[in-house]
Amino acid sequence: MGSINSDWQTIVAAKQKKSQSLIPEAWKIPESIKKELKYPLEENANRILDLDIPKRSGILSEREVEITESNTVAELLSKLASGAYTSLEVATAFCKRAAIAQQLVSCLTETFFDQAIARAKELDQAKADGKPLGPLHGLPISMKDGFQIKGLEASIGYVSFLGKLSEANSPLVDVLLGAGAVLYCKTNIPMTLMTADSHNNIFGRALNPHNTALNAGGSSGGEGALVAMRGSPIGVGTDVAGSIRIPSLCCGTYGFKPTSSRIPYGGQAIPGLPGFKPIVASAGPLANDFEALEIFAKAVIDSTPALLDSTALDVPWRTLKPITNSRLRFGVLPADPLYPLHPPVKRALEEAVKLIQAQGHEIVHLDVGETRVADACELSFELFTLTPGAAMGHLKASGEPPVPSVLAQTATANHGKYKFIPDFKHLDKLHEYAALSVKRQEYTEDWRKLWNHHKLDAIIAPAAQNTAVPHDTFGWPPYTVLFNVLDFPSVVMPFSKASKEIDSEPFQPQPGQAGTSYIPELFDGAPVSIQVATTRMRDEEVINISRVVDSILNKA
């Protein structure tokens, strides 16, 4: 990815003009509806989902509204297989809905609707010829911007990356195409990919459709916003500190972070030092229904992705029997004193635990001294910041300024008051990395002992201290990055919403604590989520157990 010499604002203006031209005029939201919104959108609490703009815009037919709103992923696939829906009409419906979402919440980067519609026609012909492609035949799937699709850009929010077209598909792209999926758009991300605000100078800020004054999460924030707008049945994100789960919790979707390397991650555009992976990221799905998570994971892993990606584990998907009468044993992750929970999050976690226990499952309330979330924060921060220059160097190459959330990344985890990580700064980078790796192994060994001592099946945890928060204030993600340090698979599922009536007391972190303030009026209606985790490589178990939890918490 080379540097550029032209004025960065001129290059951005040209890119934005081209992006806007790719939305057909017939798919533009009427001015009469735009007038209902308060601008700037990100400074005002526009509750986009409540306004029901996709249905009211006149852009979607009644059948297209039905396709995008009234089906789970399993139902879409069933109707595509039976011929009740054609690939063409499903692809067209989701392309239209994605275009609507883009105009409201800035969730997209690259759009290739024409190619998607041509692909859908080919799939319909293949089906007519008795040659359906695979388990995802005809299903539209959106992907985070870092995945490379031949002939398109993968700028990941850097002006200096614009103009370079991908020469080959990322392996996961080829896997999904081989399974019959229809790819039609890529989604917005943060500059550097390392903040919870999906904001950059090229594509702007992805907004939360529940409340545009709150963040959509990051770094897969465009996916979270698009899926919440029902502009995608399944969105593919990536997660190295919470980047699938944070957008899921902010936007009220389901999200699954697998064990690293089970879903192929290779061949992406990256912001940092190539080859340096102190914590290995995961790729995984975001969706509006729970079953979609397993449908995606099974379809991808059953394709033997290691044949296309040498970084992917060659481990088949195990189909487990449904949990029916088994009594599960859950450990409840306590709030760390340095990272207190907002009132809606604390309430939802307590309610979830009571509901799970009422169904006969065992609950073990773990102790802060044994879970040590703050120690995981120290570890992850020091690992992530071992090579800070590469990501920032891409900004200098174009002369573009950092966005506010990147500028805010100056404070260390735990306010720099470390208790677990000694001062390794006297070491050279190689020996510092080795020393941090030793501490990480010590931490994961302690968690192994914790798990065995309590005989746990899974962990129930908050997904974050908070719900979605005002832009550029999310901060460090203790309750997601914990499971990246451990490389545990985890699922985030929506449960409850913040309520100015129920959660009526404001909350302010005390000196020495991290986090944002809770303001009941501002946060009212924001989705709240619960996180479920199991040990490494128990991805099938976390899906199976999460299905039980979801059935308890989100009964129809």
Q: Which residues are annotated as a binding site?
A: 193, 219, 240-243
For strands 234-239 and 199-200, give the pairing: unpaired
- Cα–Cα distance for residue pair 309/307, rounded to 1 Å: 6
User: Is 57 labeled as catalytic in the residue annotation?
Assistant: no
106 preceded by cis ω (within 30°)?
no
| Annotated binding residues for substrate | 193, 219, 240-243
- Cα–Cα distance for residue pair 497/502, rounded to 1 Å: 10
- For 361-389, the DSSP string reads -EEEE--HHHH-HHHHHHHHHHHHTSS-H
Cβ(119)–Cβ(91) under 8 Å? yes
The residue behind tokens 């699922």 is 491
Residue/partner pairs of 148-155 with CB below 8 Å, 24 or more apart: 148/173, 148/267, 148/268, 148/269, 149/110, 149/112, 149/173, 149/183, 149/186, 152/110, 152/112, 152/186, 153/109, 153/110, 154/110, 154/186, 154/268, 154/269, 155/109, 155/202, 155/269
Cβ(236)–Cβ(187) under 8 Å? no
Quote the distance between the C-alpha of residue 319 and its chain's center.
Answer: 25
Closest CA to 541 of 492, 493, 491: 491
62-69 helix and 87-105 helix, angle to the nearest 10 degrees: 80
- Cα–Cα distance for residue pair 2/522, rounded to 1 Å: 43
Helix (H) or strand (E) segment spanning residue 544 = helix 539-553
Q: Identify the DSSP state of 269.
A: -
The residue behind tokens 């995802």 is 136
Catalytic member of 144, 186, 439, 497? 144
User: Is 144 labeled as catalytic in the residue annotation?
Assistant: yes
What beta strand segments (E) does 124-273 contain?
140-144, 182-187, 199-200, 204-205, 234-239, 254-257
Q: Identify the DSSP state of 318.
A: P
Cβ(224)–Cβ(251) under 8 Å? yes
b/e string for 273-297 if b means 16 or more Cβ within 10 A? eeeeebbebbbbbbbbbbbbbbbbb
The residue behind tokens 């229904």 is 289
- Cα–Cα distance for residue pair 147/149, rounded to 1 Å: 7
Catalytic member of 243, 248, 398, 496? 243
User: Is 219 labeled as catalytic in the residue annotation?
Assistant: yes
Encoding tokens for residue 24? 């057909």
Residues 6+ apart with CB under 8 A from 21: none
Catalytic member of 219, 303, 496, 546? 219
Cβ(284)–Cβ(258) under 8 Å? yes
Cβ(468)–Cβ(215) under 8 Å? yes
Integer distance in angstroms from the first to the last C-alpha of the chain? 49
Cβ neighbours, 10 Å, residue 109: 28
Task: Give me the active site residues, please.
Answer: 144, 219, 243
